[in-house]
Structure 1
Amino acid sequence: MQLQTDRVRFNVGGKFFEITATTLANAGRNSVFGAMFDDQWNLRPREVNDEYFIDRNPECFSVLLDLLRTDELHVPPNIPEKLFYREALYYGLLDNVRTAKWGRFDGNKLKLTSSVQGPAPHGCTAIRASPDGGFAVAHGSIVHVYNWMLEEREPLNLDYRIVNDIAWLDSENIVVSAGERLGEGDGAMGLFSSSTGDFRHRFEMKNTTAGALCFNSDSKIFACFWDQVTGKQIEFYNASPDWSLGDAAKIQWLNGSNRLFVSSLSPWEEHSHIGYLDIRTDKKVTWSWSWSKVDQIGAIYDAIAMEESNSICVVCGHDDLVFMDMRFTAGSSSFKWNQGNRENRNYIRPCYPKLALHGGQVFYSRDDGISLFSGPDSILTSSLGKSSGGETRDFSISGGRLFVLHSEENVFDVWETPSPAVI
């Protein structure tokens, strides 16, 4: 006899559990439980007394079922944290666990929860957060990878090539761009396993170096390349006869408009450029702006496109944020300054300021702190505390966490949003 029922029975490691299909739906379609239902989250017909047997830890399973019922996480002290997170990963419930433990990401509520000592002092250059709460750090020709438990995995070895950029395709795959190896003319760009460090795919290139990386919503890879002989950009950024974006420091894909935002940022050079490229029209430049170090905003250290507000945010040599309204012609009339100090800080510094956009908030690193600007007027709403690791070299946000790389001891700070208090 077969029945369509709202209840499902599990035998997990010899211990029995019963739960409704409605509660299991909280696990999401990509979980192990999602495979048990049809597209409308109705249980597929089974025998009345049938049960699902799962050969896993029953104590962890009980905690996870309670999480699905209440959205609250209570892990007994007798369950090791590493074991619990391993089980959550198996069932595809890591996002549920992170949300319950850390709370939904809110930059204005972030708290410093842990710090990881770096593998090599003074040598790391970039940090990139993974979608599942881990991160990767570039150090010379090595990429050090950490999982969501902040345990170091097998490193990625670029075979003596200097890493230029890192990008997470997903939680299991990392794309790395690097320069040429000594004695060879070709740069390199490869796909690696984040869990094993295994090399999976090489992207062929000839006499070129791959620089900045980004992805669109369909996981299509975008990268900038420049000729190692002439030093000129040869891909994406040579569409205009009047100016060249050179070797881009940052590229950013804009899903809403299907455009690529490109920033050529060299504080030590006289000129910098930013622009939008429409890749559907033979990489046509649809908007661009160039400036000189002697202009009123001075040297430019970083830039991000804010698609929702149709604007661009740049951090300039005065350590001010400048918001450029795209609805007006580029120039001083389209600038809006934040209420920062206007002291001229165009000097040689160990770490240049960085920008990031997440959840509609602008994150801005300066010296050894990070400031947040929120709302339609981009008002300063909070500042993260300072660290003992020295100036902020780089930072990255993903997987519900903010990771900050410092300059002096390569301390990687981890910031999370505390979970709401249970009343």
Structure 2
Amino acid sequence: MGDGRVRFDVGGTTFITSTTTIANAGQGSMLSALIDGRWHQPSDAGIFLDRDPSYFAVLLELLRTGELHVPPGMSRRALHREALFYGLLDHVKEAQRGPLNGNLVECRASISGRAIGDGIAIRASSDGGCCVAHETMVHVYDWALEEKQPLTLDYVSVNDMGFLNPERVVICTYERGEQIGGMACFNVNTGEIEHRYQVTHEGQGKNFPALAFASNHRHVFASCRKRISDYGIGVWDQTTGEHLDFFHDSEGTHLGDARKLQWLPQSNVLFVASLYPQSDNSFISLLDFRMKQKAWTWTDSKMRSSDDKLVMDTVAMDERSTVCVVNQYDNLGFIDTRLSQQAVKWNHMYTHAKLSESEEHCYSRLAACGSQVYASRRDNVLVYCCSDKEATRCIQTANLSKEGRGTISDIAIGGDRLFVLQAEENLFDVWETPILHGVGC
């Protein structure tokens, strides 16, 4: 219109706004491209878009105010589709939830799957999607919590899985009978395998049993067995799937039996944890692949007593140089990796009688976000906040639970969301921190 204003005709409804408002969409959006001179705009008729005007009105208001106000009855899925068309999906995501804060979160969704059998593990993606393992199948959900095509690798039981990015999932499986198992990367949109990872031995690539998975922006890592007596951590190129390196377990610290891997971007090391019952003792290491050595190690063998304080899960808090552990009594402990004396400082959640070997029990699972630690305990999730002054001092600040949900089997954090997987139902809950200045959807 030549005066800093722009006219849109969306499905027969006229909208007039400013070029400044459209600029808020960002240079990569379709709306910004329409007014940057590369498109012809008649001065009277404006830009015609054959789309639903009701959704355009919601998205235009989002650009004006930064707040997302969704009228009652409007389809969330359709709004996401329209936002994708206009190049505004990231704006919608940011407006729907704030940074994860366990003291403020609300349960925003409960998702019932269609898989047979209980979910055994859940993993989160960086954009707020997740995947759930059910025996041999992995069910993937995008950030809008819409289910994608189920994934499976040769119908062998899943040990671990995780996202390389929101469009790619890696699945690890172990051997069963004559099936060796292995590891593969899937495209979640097509369900097809992009790479089937192999280890190189004597110049030949071979399949291998894989236990745990992690990745950084370039590499894929897995605890695995190269051959019968050669255990360790394999490294692959994320783009090509080529086998690059193998960190041999020369010190008997059960690297090849590791059930938890975590890449620590600030420290630039790989966190590796071998836990009971895969090994008699728990071993935790930080592997520096640049120096080809272990930067730090810890084991619970020295702290074992008549109480048998077995470490059942662990998570690293990279920014605080701290490792958090939980034992079979659901007691939470912290280890400062900067100190030569690597004793555990325990924060006792509670104490109960020792469990019998036959008693079923879902042990605590851990996740971390910033200075907060999330620990499942039976049917709830406890939130702990670490002290700014002391890395291993932590106090409980919140207790998250939903009535009637039953025991929790796993938790995960990603994309500013906390995912809580139920042990006895094919169900998971999604917890988010609500945006305080908007209604959201």
Scaled to the shorter chain, the TM-score interval is: 0.7 to 0.9
Structure 2 equivalent of residue 220 of structure 1:
219
Structure 1 equivalent of residue 193 of structure 2:
199
Q: Which runs of 4+ in 1 moved over 6 A?
A: 45-48
Of 258-267 and 16-25, the range deviating more from structure 2: 16-25
Structure 2 equivalent of residue 24 of structure 1:
22
Structure 2 equivalent of residue 165 of structure 1:
160
For structure 2, the residue ranges without an aligned partner over 5 or more in a row are 200-205, 235-245, 388-392
Q: Check 1:345–1:30 CA distance in 2 against 1; reply closer, same or farther (3 A cut).
A: farther
Matching residue's letter, 2:22: L
Paired residues for 1:41-56 under 5 Å: 43=36, 49=42, 52-56=47-51
Q: Residue 313 of structure 1: CA displacement? A: 0.8
Q: Check 1:57–1:173 CA distance in 2 against 1; reply closer, same or farther (3 A cut).
A: farther
- What TM-score results when the alignment is normalised by the length of structure 2? 0.83
Structure 2 equivalent of residue 131 of structure 1:
126
SS state of the match for residue 253, structure 1?
A: strand
Of 315-324 and 62-71, the range deviating more from structure 2: 315-324
Matching residue's letter, 2:142: N
| Contact preservation (8 Å) 1:311, 1:326 | yes
- What TM-score results when the alignment is normalised by the length of structure 1? 0.86
Mapped partners of 1:25, 1:396: distance in 2: 36
Matching residue's letter, 1:288: T
| Contact preservation (8 Å) 1:251, 1:260 | yes
Structure 1 equivalent of residue 304 of structure 2:
294
Question: Please, which of 391, 394, 408 is the counterpart of residue 378 of structure 1?
Answer: 394
Matching residue's letter, 2:291: T
SS state of the match for residue 352, structure 1?
A: coil
Mapped partners of 2:223, 2:86: distance in 1: 38
The superposition leaves residues 162-205 of structure 1 with CA deviations (integer Å, 9 ceiling, x where unpaired) of 212111122222121223465343x3222222233233332234
| Contact preservation (8 Å) 1:298, 1:346 | no
Q: Residue 237 of structure 1: CA displacement? A: 4.8
Mapped partners of 2:233, 2:346: distance in 1: 35
Q: Residue 344 of structure 1: CA displacement? A: 5.6
Of 219-228 and 136-145, the range deviating more from structure 2: 219-228
SS state of the match for residue 22, structure 1?
A: helix
Question: Please, which of 311, 317, 320 is the counterpart of residue 306 of structure 1?
Answer: 317
The superposition leaves residues 124-179 of structure 1 with CA deviations (integer Å, 9 ceiling, x where unpaired) of 21112233333211112211122344333221132212212111122222121223
| Contact preservation (8 Å) 1:389, 1:407 | no
Are 1:281 and 2:291 counterparts?
A: yes
Q: Check 1:244–1:409 CA distance in 2 against 1; reply closer, same or farther (3 A cut).
A: closer
Structure 2 equivalent of residue 76 of structure 1:
71
Are 1:116 and 2:130 counterparts?
A: no
Structure 2 equivalent of residue 366 of structure 1:
377
Are 1:251 and 2:261 counterparts?
A: yes
Matched residues, number: 411
Q: Residue 123 of structure 1: CA displacement? A: 3.4
| Contact preservation (8 Å) 1:130, 1:399 | yes
Question: Please, which of 341, 345, 363 is the counterpart of residue 350 of structure 2?
Answer: 341
Matching residue's letter, 1:191: C
Matching residue's letter, 1:415: W
Question: Please, which of 313, 317, 329 is the counterpart of residue 328 of structure 2?
Answer: 317
Q: Residue 300 of structure 1: CA displacement? A: 0.3
Mapped partners of 2:86, 2:370: distance in 1: 27
RMSD: 3.0
Q: Check 1:278–1:33 CA distance in 2 against 1; reply closer, same or farther (3 A cut).
A: farther
Of 157-166 and 253-262, the range deviating more from structure 2: 157-166
SS state of the match for residue 164, structure 1?
A: strand
SS state of the match for residue 271, structure 1?
A: coil
| Contact preservation (8 Å) 1:126, 1:393 | yes
Of 340-349 and 200-209, the range deviating more from structure 2: 340-349
